[in-house]
Amino acid sequence: MNVTRILIKNLLFYAIIVAGLLLVVMFPRNPTVSAVGRAATINIEYQFYFHEYKDNIVQYLQNVWNDKSLGGTRFETLTVEDELKRFFPKSLKLVIPAFILSILIGVGKGIFDYRNRDKKTNVIGNGLTWLLQSIPDFFLVVCLQWLVIFAVPSLRLFSQSNWYGFIVPALLVSIYPMMYMARITSTALSNEDGQYYIQVAKSKGFPMSKVVNKHIFRNCLNTISAHMTSLMVHLLSSLMIVEYLIGYEGMAYRLFTALGFSLNVTMRSFRSMEPGVIIGIGLCFLLLVVMAQLLGALIKKSFRIP
């Protein structure tokens, strides 16, 4: 019964997110442009009309139902699905390795932080975790770009034409989520301090490493697995920053162009929005969040965590 209730609750929650995305994207944004006076001064005005807002939503939903497609793009021969097939796999090349690294290295770093919290090595433990969480993502990306360009210009780490072009972006995407997971793990382990089973394990002469790995960590898996969804959300936010700054042509890169902004620094002009593309990319992001949530539930089931 609890499983059914949780499933229905999640479905309603995601349905509200999709509905909210549709309402935001379909909000009328077209201003009225007119020429005033003899000098033909350009006057730009905006007025909101509810019937226009309603027509945008109804027309879009009708087109989706009739055409069995999320819509067209600024390119006449390409649909939203065509763009998703092109950009979604490129982002997956960053998301999947970054997600795995965030879990494996993040959890390992959290255990290290916990075991060294009262030692001098805490500087590279909790201290390093705090430092990497405090530094903005864009600052790390810019610094690495500067280092590569000026120190080793022949090294094409950001070139998408090379097979290894995804490695550095994936590492950059994983830094903040990795430290987030380290913090969650360290906190969860610290909350178990003083429990009776830890004292019993120590009294039996078990080394601290075995106590942590065999007993404390298992009891913390429930807390850690519950943050899989949050981990994916942090990862996607880092993905948008990294793809924008290094020009990696993935979903986040395409999202900025769909919003009407030019990614070319020399072109400050605004272009028309592509609502279908925005909704499609939003659904892809939501799918990744759902998959992360399912992974957390699978971890709990595999270890028989209540």
Residues 97 and 246 in one domain: yes
Q: Do residues 109 and 39 both lie within one domain?
A: no
Q: What is the pTM of this model?
A: 0.82
Model confidence over 155-189: pLDDT tens digits?
A: 666 666 676 778 888 888 888 899 999 999 888 88
Q: Which of these, 28, 197, 201, 178, lies nearest to 109 by C-alpha position?
A: 178
181 plus 279 within the same structural domain: yes
Which CATH number does the domain housing residue 286 bear? Answer: 1.10.3720.10
- Identify the residue with better confidence: 94 or 221: 94
Q: Are residues 131 and 188 in the same domain?
A: yes
**Would you state the pLDDT for residue 50?**
84
Domain end position, chosen among 68, 85, 106: 68
Note the pLDDT of residue 219. 75
Q: Do 128 and 222 reside in the same domain of the chain?
A: yes
- Core vs surface per residue 288-305: b (16+ CB within 10 A) or e: bbeebbebbeebbeeeeb
CA triple 273-54-27, angle to 5 deg: 30
Domain endpoint, select from 22, 42, 68: 68
Q: Domain count of the chain?
A: 2
| Structural domain containing residue 296 | 75-302
- Same domain, yes or no, for 30 and 86? no
pLDDT in tens, 246-280: 888 889 888 888 887 654 544 444 457 888 899 99
Shared domain for 120 and 29, answered yes or no, is no
If asked whether residues 220 and 113 sit together in one domain, one would say yes
Strand 41-45 and strand 32-36: pairing? antiparallel
User: Is pLDDT at 147 greater than 90 in this prediction?
Assistant: no
Same domain for 55 and 97, yes or no, is: no
Domain end, chosen from 68, 99, 118, is at: 68
Q: Is residue 163 domain-shared with residue 192, that is, in the same domain?
A: yes
